Chains A and B, each alone.
Chain A
């Protein structure tokens, strides 16, 4: 890991699936500056892309007039990413477990599970329209 002190960046995108990669590309560039392991980059990229997609799709219902707000902070120990939409919020207990036998053949519903498994900490605000995800570097 190099000595880059800290990156604190905010990105605002419209609720358009086409902007998901813009977010992850910027984040990956920043992670590269910290020489973060490719395997960790994979996990963070996937979790962030899934969460931004959920914000666009389920939070803002693809309304391009509504923004998705992303903030990420990278330091020598971790990356923390906040993703906020303008929706009514969601509650984890209402999300079906895609690993259950009856859900395995469902085509969707795996994004939230992947986020929780790939990141070290995941928390939501009370309303459920903002998620904070953290991944620690194991050095």
Chain B
């Protein structure tokens, strides 16, 4: 998997691409740790190009959320496919994460 990131209007925007699963989660965790090293206060992870997430991927996102919350930052997720979104619904992680349908909606909601 890959993550491209840029800072725009004070928001660290992370564009994730590829599966986040048992094989790629350790790598994803390392990449996000690096991207968030400076404790960005507003973080958006756009999952439009993530077609598959398993329980390891969900665990990685929970870890990232905990990390960001630990320093008082905010994390939003956007552009989840219907299948990926269904996993957040099944596991009730939708209660934990701030999820927007679109990128623009997520940016505006910070």
Chain A residues proximal to chain B, CB less than 8 Å: 17-18, 20-21, 39, 42, 45-46, 49-50, 53, 98-99, 104-111, 113-114, 117-118
Contact = CB atoms under 8 A, between A and B. Distances in A.
Is chain B's interface secondary structure helix, strand, loop, or mixed overall?
helix
B34 interface: no
Nearest to B89: A117
A113 B23 CA distance: 20
Nearest to A46: B54
B6 to A, nearest CB: 28
16 contacts: A17-B23, A20-B22, A42-B52, A46-B87, A98-B91, A98-B92, A104-B92, A105-B62, A105-B66, A106-B62, A108-B55, A110-B58, A111-B55, A114-B54, A114-B90, A117-B90
Given A42-B83, A53-B22, A108 B59 contact: yes
Contacts of A18: 23
A113 B22 contact: no
B96 A104 contact: yes
B48 to A, nearest CB: 16
How many chain B residues sit at the interface, stated as a range, is 20 to 34
- Most chain A beta-carbon contacts within 10 A, residue among B54, B59, B63, B96: B54
B62 A107 contact: yes
Given A17-B22, A46-B54, A114-B55, A99 B62 contact: no
Contacts of A53: 22
A117 to B, nearest CB: 5
B19 to A, nearest CB: 10
B49 to A, nearest CB: 16
Interface of B: 21-23, 52, 54-55, 58-59, 62-63, 66, 82-83, 87, 90-93, 95-96
B90 A105 contact: no
A37 to B, nearest CB: 11
Contacts of A20: 22-23
Is chain A's interface secondary structure helix, strand, loop, or mixed overall?
helix
A109 B91 CA distance: 10
A88 B62 CA distance: 30
Contacts of B93: 104
A39 B83 contact: yes
Contacts of B59: 107-108, 110
A21 B54 contact: no
